[in-house]
Amino acid sequence: MSDGQTMLKTGTSTVGITFNGGVVVGADHRATMGHFIANKSVQKLFQIGENLALTTAGLVGHAQSLSRTLSAEVALFQLKRQQQMTVKGAATLTANILVGRPHWVQLLIVGVDDEGSHVYSIDSAGGSIPDVYCATGSGSPYMYGVLEDGFKENMSEADALKLAARALHASGQRDAASGNGMDLSVITKKDGYRQLSQDEISKLLK
């Protein structure tokens, strides 16, 4: 790690799941340097708008820079237009930033708007792919086993939260680059963005 945190890589597990009325989004806490656990409390889940969230996998410095840029751009859009940016708009903005200046990251842009609930996976070269659920990072193969077994169209918020917690827990058990707890948030059209407390997450895992 020669330049602060800019060279710190996160193996990472992040997940986004749509449900009837909103979206659940989460990420683990672990950052690694090769086989060494460099940090156990890295933030990989960021609120970037009242209706939008970002998850990051990759270089910590690039992830933090992108979260600041996107938060500012979303706030400026809302100030100018007097309306929230759509999830597709946020995903397109993010993809355009990465096309102009590639970052060593893999991202999820998730949120809700007038058209419903959305999850977009965005690669380091600016590719943007929508889906009803998605997992990223080194722990994603373990999460997809849980997600493909448990996901249902128009599932409830409670079921989506349990599924996300179970998927992140599974990756933390099997992927050496993921773990040390998780952050979970839920976004709905009615209530906007809400991050769960660690007590709430513990109850989901029980």
The amino acid occupying position 41 is S
In which domain, by residue range, is 165 found? 14-201
What is the CATH number for 102? 3.60.20.10
pTM reported for the whole predicted model: 0.89
Q: What pLDDT does 123 receive?
A: 84
- Number of folded domains in the chain? 1
In tens, the pLDDT along 48-105 reads: 999 999 998 877 777 788 899 999 999 999 999 999 999 999 999 999 888 866 667 7
In a domain, 9, yes or no: no
Which carries the bigger pLDDT value, residue 32 or residue 136?
136
Angle (deg, nearest 10), helices 140-150 and 157-174: 150
Least confident of 24-28, 95-99, 104-108, 175-179: 175-179
Which pLDDT score, from 0 to 100, does residue 186 have? 98
SS3 at position 4:
coil
In the chain, % of residues over pLDDT 90: 62
Residue 40, φ and ψ in degrees, nearest 5: -110, 5
- CA–CA distance from 201 to each of 94, 113, 122, 155 (Å)? 29, 26, 26, 19
Whether 124 maps to a domain, the answer reads yes
- Nearest-Å Rg of the Cα atoms of the chain is 16
Q: Around Cβ 35, how many Cβ atoms within 10 Å?
A: 7
Residue 206 forms part of a structural domain = no
Tell me the catalytic residues: 12
Joined together, the tokens standing for residue 2 give 């020669």
DSSP 5-26: TTT-B----EEEEEETTEEEEE
Q: Is residue 5 part of a domain?
A: no
Alpha carbon 198 to its chain centroid, in Å, reads 17
Domain assignment present for residue 154? The answer is yes
Q: What is the arithmetic mean of pLDDT over 2-27?
A: 76
The winner for highest mean pLDDT among 4-8, 178-182, 194-198 is: 194-198
